[in-house]
Amino acid sequence: MSKKQILLNAFQMNCVGHIQHGLWTHPQDRSIFFNDLDYWTSLARTLERYLFDGIFIADIFGYYDVYKGNVDITLKESVQLPTNDPWTLVSGMAAVTNNLGLGITATIRAENPYAFARRVSSLDHLTKGRLGWNIVTGYSDSGARGLGYGELEKHDERYDRADEFMEVVYKLWEGSWADDAVVVDRTRRVYARPDRVRAIEHNGAYYKSNAIHGSSPSPQRTPLLFQAGASDRGRAFAGKHAEAAFISAPTIERARELSRKIRKAAIDAGRKADDVKVFAGLAVVVAATQKVAREKFDEYLKYANPEANLTHFSASVGIDFSKFDLDAPIDYGVSNYIQTSSEYAAERRFTVRDLLREKALSSHYHVIVGDAAQAASEIERWIDEGELDGVNLSRVVVPGSWEDFGQLVIPELQNRGRFKTAYGEGTLRHKVFGYDRLQDNHPAARYRFA
């Protein structure tokens, strides 16, 4: 049996501090240039040179104001504030690449589905089918205040709304224009055939839309769908809609458990276990030797800011850790999130001091440190024992972490037959799954133009 090919995304955000906080102060880190288009086009070229399958760009509306009840550390360390719109980057990066997938996060609560569907189709056209969409329902109270909804909806209601939003955009992407609608016949003067185009009809609980989709069918129609829901309701949503699920797991065991749950959710939704590619977030610090890699890690630690990581983590779990005594045990039971993300949580009580130590470099992902062979072996182990398909590789310093990985780890994975040596053909979906359009077992299929 041939070994499973490992899928690889660079995990990025249109901001300074993304996951490994404080590293913007490192002399080699270029994240402070995120406002510049050159930073993004240069990065896109680099990732394509190393054959990354895609760049996956997170996003958030709102900001981290739980820790100490303010945004002081958030702003001083630029913990995802400011964060610019990731959709604005797509055509710029597409202009300098040919194969790199462009997976972009959009928050349903911020979008009108008719306008959003057109934006996505436009970009799928411009990228010749390289677009992915990471579906987010939105979880920040400050984001809800900014977007004007006051209080966040209850968790499950957010997913009900998201399910309906998907229905609207599926109707627009899959059902408004037939495949043979656009004929571009100059002699007969027929750009598109009126009998092959129709207005969608949607009058639901959250959304109304009754019109022809503004864009003609793009290469993928529906973009490649990513999702990262961690709750049971979120996983049910992912099982129904997602073609790629992104998980956050501190251990391989936890990754395997989450991967199995997601694949079960897909099966429960009438799809196949491998219709969803599962990606884990990882960081890798790699160098020519194990010793140099460890030195590099220790050097990074000097620039990291555990309090900034704790600021991010406090908002993620909704607990202001500044109120705890450094050595007092925390009742982690209050947050399901902590139980799922912390090695400490599964076995024992932990303290803020534990958290600060654990989160010295990152509040979220496992960090692999080693030479190329070690890093490759560890990644293989995550993929195989974790029952994963790919890695969302977060950055410690940018673009250094991805450069190091491309120069050292990718050739090693290629030698082991675990990583492609050239891009596949066609659209992003074709590269990942071997077909351009969603299959019949996907819920979008029922809205196709008959």
Among 3, 69, 155, 190, binds a second copy (CB under 8 A): 190
Q: How far is 411 from 399, CA to CA, in rounded Å?
A: 18
How many binding residues for a second copy (CB under 8 A)? 85
Task: Provide CB contacts within 8 A for 153, sequence distance 6+.
Answer: 161
To a second copy, the closest distance from the beta carbon of 50 in angstroms equals 21
Closest CA to 354 of 378, 397, 385, 321: 321
* Interacting residues with a second copy between 79 and 108 (CB under 8 A): 81-85, 87-96
Among 8, 10, 104, 123, which residue sits at the site for a second copy (rule: CB under 8 A)?
A: 123
Whether the upstream peptide bond of residue 82 has omega within 30° of 0, thus cis, is yes
Shortest Cβ 214–a second copy spacing (Å): 6
When the beta carbons of 254 and 429 are compared against a second copy, the nearer one is 429
Residue 367 CB neighbours (<10 A): 16
Residues listed for the chain: 450
191 makes contact with a second copy (CB under 8 A): yes
- Spatial distance between the Cα atoms of 447 and 174, rounded to a whole number of angstroms: 6
Least spacing, CB of residue 255 vs a second copy, in Å: 32
Cβ contacts of residue 36 below 8 Å, gap of 6+? none
Which position among 3, 36, 328, 385 is part of the footprint of a second copy (CB under 8 A)? 36
Other C-beta atoms lying within 10 Å of the C-beta of residue 194: 8
Which is closer to a second copy, CB of 302 or CB of 327? 302
Tell me how far, at minimum, the Cβ of 137 lies from a second copy, in Å.
15
Measured CA angle at 341 (ends 335, 343), to 5 deg: 110
Which DSSP symbol is given to 405?
I
Is residue 375 within 8 Å of 353, Cβ to Cβ? no
Which of 112-120, 242-250, 283-291, 355-363 is the region at the interface with a second copy (rule: CB under 8 A)? 112-120
User: Is the CB of 46 or the CB of 122 nearer to a second copy?
Assistant: 122
Applying CB under 8 A, the span of 50-58, 191-199, 364-372, 411-419 interacting with a second copy comes to 191-199
Query: Which sign does the torsion angle of CA 78, 80, 81, 85 carry?
Result: positive
Of 37, 292, 326, 334, the residue at the interface with a second copy (CB under 8 A) is 37
* Segment holding 225, helix H or strand E: strand 224-227
Q: Which is nearer to a second copy, 194 or 421 (CB)?
A: 194
Long-range contacts formed by 123-128: CB under 8 A, 24+ apart: 123/87, 123/90, 123/91, 123/94, 123/223, 124/218, 124/219, 124/220, 124/221, 124/223, 125/215, 125/216, 125/218, 125/219, 126/90, 126/91, 126/94, 127/90, 127/91, 127/94, 127/102, 128/219, 128/427
State the nearest-atom distance from the C-beta of 189 to a second copy, in Å.
Answer: 6
Residues 322-381 that bind a second copy (CB under 8 A): none
Q: Of the two residues 32 and 273, which places its CB atom closer to a second copy in the complex?
A: 32
Whichever of 143 and 400 has its CB closer to a second copy, that residue is 143
Applying CB under 8 A, which of residues 4, 28, 147, 290 lies at the interface with a second copy? Answer: 147
**Of residues 184, 205, 422, 450, which one binds a second copy by CB under 8 A?**
184
Q: How far is the CB of 45 from a second copy (least distance, A)?
A: 11
Q: Which of residues 201-240 bind a second copy (CB under 8 A)?
A: 207-216, 218
Closest to a second copy by CB, 141 or 257: 141
Give the other-Cβ count within 10 Å of 346's Cβ: 14
At its nearest, how many Å lie between a second copy and the CB of residue 172? 9
Candidates 8, 11, 13, 14; binder of a second copy (CB under 8 A) is 14
